[in-house]
Structure 1
Amino acid sequence: MRIITLYQPYATLMMLGLKTNETRNRRTLVRGTLGIHAAAAIPNWCRLKMNEASFKSALKDVELPTGKILGTVELIGSMRTEEWLLSQSDIIEGFYTAAVWNEIAFGDYSANRWAWQTINPTPFETPIPAKGSQGFWFFDLPNEVIQQD
């Protein structure tokens, strides 16, 4: 299975369905099932982000496993962040919902970036230990995990 490594708390936020876009500096043509791996280390900048109100609220009483494949999502497309933001605004009222504000808080929606859009977060009952890598990488999941879906 194709996997991508994310730092915590972003990997867990994606598995909770609170983060549906992974924002990157390039688009992707990859589509389909994608495993979400939590990196082994949590950088200081991520620890600082976890002190922000939106993160504290979303992560209250939530465990943040590291060095493990947490589950899967379906990667359905990529869109420029500017376009994604426009698509989320209520045209008449000109506002965002609370869920969109959280999505913005959990990503980098600055200009000239891409939102990799995902749906159907499916956490594994037991996260799978794995080393991880930058970019996309591949991992053979155990049969019992594949049959769980």
Structure 2
Amino acid sequence: MKAITIIQPWATLIALGEKRFETRSWATRHRGEIAIHAGKKLDKRICQQEPFRSVLAKHGYTENNLPTGAIIAIGNLQSCYVISRPYGDEESVWLEGDGKLVEWDRVNRTAQERLEYIFGDYRDGRYAWEMTDVQRLEEPVPVKGMQGLWNWKDVK
């Protein structure tokens, strides 16, 4: 199974269903099952800022108890979109790929779209990986992560 290592708290936000898109500087052709690996790196400063702090707290997490160095969820990498800002940085965000176009209007974004925007890096030319059907594991599976997409075999 393919896996992706993500810095905390972003890995946990995906595992909890609070973040649907993982933003990256590179695209992927992979579609299908993917393991979400929480890297050993943790951004404690961002965990203390809103809305990160309150969203994590809603699920019982703080910067002191986030899992690291482990597979924490399994999901489906549904699509990979290129991010564009056709009207400039202060306006709409367009996600385009896999024959679809998703537009987030700056003024009319839903509450979830506003959080999604805060939880990602939506600069022009980056990529948004759409994660669906994410299931958090009851117990994290300790494993060393890697850069890029990598292969993980669940050893039980």
Name the TM-score, length of structure 2 as normaliser: 0.81
Paired residue for 1:101, among 101, 114, 118? Answer: 114
In the TM superposition, 1:68-79 aligns within 5 A as 68-79=70-81
SS of 1:64's equivalent?
coil
Give the structure 1 partner of residue 29 of structure 2.
Answer: 29
**1 CA distance for matches of 2:123 and 2:114?**
14
Structure 2: segments with no counterpart, 5+ residues: 85-93
| 1:105-136 CA distance string (max 9 Å, x none) | 11100111110111011111111000111111
**2 CA distance for matches of 1:120 and 1:57?**
23
Which amino acid letter does the alignment assign opposite residue 55 of structure 2?
A: A
- Give how far 1:89 is off: 3.1
Give the structure 1 partner of residue 102 of structure 2.
Answer: 87
SS of 2:122's equivalent?
coil
SS of 1:109's equivalent?
coil
- Give how far 1:88 is off: 4.0
Structure 1: segments with no counterpart, 5+ residues: 144-149
| 1:41-82 CA distance string (max 9 Å, x none) | 32xxx2222222110111112241001100111001111222
Which amino acid letter does the alignment assign opposite residue 21 of structure 1?
A: F
**1 CA distance for matches of 2:16 and 2:6?**
14
- Give how far 1:14 is off: 0.2
Which amino acid letter does the alignment assign opposite residue 26 of structure 1?
A: W
Give the structure 1 partner of residue 155 of structure 2.
Answer: 142
SS of 2:54's equivalent?
helix
More strand by share: 2
| Aligned 8 A contact 1:79 1:114 in 2 | yes
Name the TM-score, length of structure 1 as normaliser: 0.85
Give the structure 2 partner of residue 52 of structure 1.
Answer: 49
Identical positions, percent: 36
Q: CA RMSD in A?
A: 1.9
**2 CA distance for matches of 1:89 and 1:54?**
19
| Aligned 8 A contact 1:31 1:75 in 2 | yes
| Aligned 8 A contact 1:88 1:96 in 2 | no
More helix by share: 1
Which amino acid letter does the alignment assign opposite residue 73 of structure 1?
A: G
**2 CA distance for matches of 1:57 and 1:127?**
22
